[in-house]
Chain A
Amino acid sequence: MGEKGRGWNLGLAGLLTPVTIWLGLFFLIPLLLILAYSFGTSGVYGGITLGFNPGNYLKVFDPLYLQIIGRTFFIAALTTLLCLALGYPLAYFIVFKGYRRRNLLILLVMVPFWTSLLIRAYSWVVILSGNGIANKFLQFIGVTDEPLTLIFTPEAVLMGMVYSYLPFMILPLYASLEKFDTRLKEAAKDLGASRWQTFWRVTFPLSMPGVIAGSILVFIPSAGEFVIPQLLGGSRTVMTGTLIQTQFGAARDWAFGSALSVMLAVLLLAAILFYVRRVGTDKLEGM
């Protein structure tokens, strides 16, 4: 028994070695490097001198940068909420009404992943521009005479983000609802619950692991987004990701860029811990 147990542990250790090396080399070391850089001093011409310089973190507290970080979290939260509002009914529909076409429908949700995000974002520029399809259609049905300003606005950024991250919400919701035992709905109905009550008291609470996982999967990349605000926002919706990119690029201030990255990571971690605490970790057990 004891011998058998040890053998199993050795086997597991063997299986975990590749992933440990992988994550160590390509995740942990770069992360530590960023942490070290964040306390360094940037050279005037780029490059960095390591040391202990907390000044980079003090700079984060400039009202300008705090406002950008605040805006980033607001947009990321709004993106998450909209993805949930759009994604939940769809996942629900696929699981409970999709029948034999379930697999096909969930495949269709994943289709956008087969094309680069950049190409998809660019196609929105084409669709929403002054003489793009959207404006042509609106003019055709008589909603407007003059082309409307649909692109390079904060709303276009939000739309682009919801569009890009929606599948990350739908897939975990689908996985979570798929395991749902429909007999529970019948039981609720037998016990006199209305459809509304059945949903809010039975179905939704049981799908919480999917809601939590989906929210985290949407919120984290949204908060780090830097391409969509540039392409669809005309660079006027400045988010933290863009700000970090500027520090590593044009500003040649890798130390400040690293400090911003560390702050963003810490704030994201805090937000997620708060969220999971709030909703309850026990809900994650179904995962």
Chain B
Amino acid sequence: MQRRGTSISRGKFLKMMGAAGVAGSTLSVLSCQPNTSATGGGGGSGGGPEEKELALYNWSDYVAGSTIPGFQKETGIKVTQDFFASNEDLLGKLQAGATGYDVIVPSDYMVAIMVKSDVIQKLDKSKIPNIKNVGENYMGLSYDPNNEYSLPYQWGTTGILYNKKEVGKLDSSWDAMWDKQFEGKMAMLADSRETIGAALYKLGYSVNSKNQDQLQEAEAELKKQQPLLRGYFASTEVRPLVMNGDILLGHVYSGDAFLAMSENEDLDYLIPNPRATRWTDNMSIPNGAPHPDNANKFINYILDAKVGAALSNYTYYNTPNEASLPDIDPALKDLPGYTLASDIFERLEVIEDVGKTTREYERIFTEVKSA
């Protein structure tokens, strides 16, 4: 599953190439080691002070220009950043024994998997006083109920970016994505959980369903939808398609919608009824991280009010940091779907790991795509 897609949040063409290269090298997972030197053992191995270094393993284009220089200035710790293209890439590398990363940014369901497969370590909350800034809606989520292993980095929703001028104001259901009058003018995410999830939501079921009958109903819905679509894409690919008019409706992550809307007034973003996804990307420290102290410092730094605001003003995603809210760009805050009323927030569902059923989801998605 890919959260940020192959990732160009700002039409950064060459960066995209880099990330896609990362995606292409999935098979070489076993030989991949980060450039920082490895030290064995679990975190916090006592002894002398740590080197002034930190290795961040992140989605591409997911820090503000000021984020890393600011940390280096404040602490004197030099940050090197590597990029991954999907949560599974990240998991695969850690499972294959990659060491040398200090902070990683897994999405919600992946945190749960990483705890179960024992590849991340507990945070040292005594070193993260800024934890107080995190809003209660973003703490204690099912994937890490006590936030022992993770703290939120950014969050967002998954919904429909559409051309209001051409389509008119949509009603609030998922039905538009199945509407024959938009044939050839729609795209869904190339992500099994999100796209099967949209069908499950439409049918009134949970995005985390493991019920065979429900999944079969969802498959039938998606097979009806498939011929109406232009295809299945990464969210960052859907955005330009909607912006340049190739399609009218696209299934996207909220940050891509907000970026498109801030450049084109004809566009609107819908978080459909009855349910839609909210997701969270988190900061965690892998086992064997060479600089766990620096990692805890970095997490604390990100949860600072100003730093968090600068980050979200760059990514166009939402901040879990309530102290940052006053500094969020007002133009961003006013976009529909950015600041959520509590009744909307309450009908958002978090994607959880479904264990063995993951493979069933993948099989269904393959079957739908090749139908």
Contact = CB atoms under 8 A, between A and B. Distances in A.
A53 interface: no
A243 interface: yes
Interface string B241-279: 100111000000000000000000000000000000000
A253 B13 CA distance: 32
Contact of B358 (A33, A67, A234, A251): A251
Contact of B27 (A119, A227, A248): A248
A128 B241 CA distance: 12
Contact of B26 (A67, A119, A129, A245): A245
B19 to A, nearest CB: 10
Nearest to A226: B24
A182 interface: no
Interface string A228-262: 00100111111000010111111111000000000
B1 A250 contact: yes
B8 to A, nearest CB: 10
B252 to A, nearest CB: 15
A119 B18 CA distance: 10
A252 B370 contact: no
A152 B231 contact: yes
A44 B355 CA distance: 6
A49 B1 CA distance: 23
B73 interface: no
B92 A248 contact: yes
A12 interface: no
A236 B222 CA distance: 13
A46 B369 contact: no
Given A46-B95, A252-B88, A253-B359, A129 B231 contact: no
Contact of A234 (B16, B86, B187): B187
Nearest to A116: B17
Interface in A26-70: 30, 33, 43-47, 64, 67-68
Nearest to A135: B246
A228 B91 CA distance: 25
Interface residues of B, number: 45
A33 B30 CA distance: 11
A145 to B, nearest CB: 15
Contacts, number: 105
Nearest to B190: A235
Nearest to A125: B237
Contacts of B229: 234, 236
Contacts of A8: none
B187 A118 contact: no
A131 interface: yes
A129 B232 CA distance: 15
Contacts of B95: 46-47
A234 B231 contact: yes
Interface stretch (B144-152, B296-304, B360-368): B360-368
B139 interface: no
Contact of B233 (A64, A149, A235): A235
B245 A235 contact: no
Nearest to B1: A250
Nearest to B232: A235
Interface in A114-136: 116, 118-119, 122, 129-131
- The CB with the most chain A CB atoms within 10 A, among B1, B226, B369, is that of B369
Contact of A130 (B16, B29, B244): B244
B175 to A, nearest CB: 22
Interface in B334-370: 355-356, 358-359, 362-363, 366-367, 369-370
A238 B369 contact: yes
Contacts of A44: 355-356, 358
Contacts of A249: 26, 86, 88-89, 92
A226 to B, nearest CB: 8
B370 A68 contact: yes
A122 B13 contact: yes
Nearest to B187: A234
B59 to A, nearest CB: 15
B17 A129 contact: no
B113 A250 contact: no
Contact of A64 (B26, B89, B113, B370): B370
- The CB with the most chain B CB atoms within 10 A, among A235, A248, A253, is that of A235
Contact of A246 (B89, B244, B362): B362
A40 to B, nearest CB: 14
A45 B369 contact: no
B231 A46 contact: no
Nearest to B240: A129
Interface in B107-121: 113, 116-117
Given A227-B24, A235-B190, A118 B17 contact: yes
B232 A236 contact: yes
B21 interface: yes
Contacts of A236: 226, 229, 231-232, 369-370
7 closest A-B pairs by CB: A234-B231, A251-B362, A238-B370, A130-B246, A235-B232, A249-B88, A152-B231
Interface of A: 30, 33, 43-47, 64, 67-68, 71, 116, 118-119, 122, 129-131, 149, 152, 227, 230, 233-238, 243, 245-253
Interface of B: 1, 13, 16-17, 20-21, 24, 26-27, 29-30, 86, 88-89, 91-92, 95, 113, 116-117, 184, 187, 190-192, 226, 229-233, 241, 244-246, 355-356, 358-359, 362-363, 366-367, 369-370
20 contacts: A30-B30, A45-B116, A47-B95, A64-B370, A67-B370, A68-B370, A116-B21, A122-B17, A130-B245, A149-B184, A227-B20, A235-B190, A236-B369, A246-B362, A249-B92, A250-B358, A250-B362, A251-B358, A252-B91, A252-B359
Given A130-B244, A235-B233, A251-B359, 19 more contacts: A43-B117, A64-B366, A64-B367, A68-B366, A68-B370, A118-B17, A118-B20, A118-B21, A118-B24, A129-B241, A129-B244, A129-B246, A152-B230, A230-B190, A235-B231, A236-B369, A243-B366, A249-B88, A253-B359
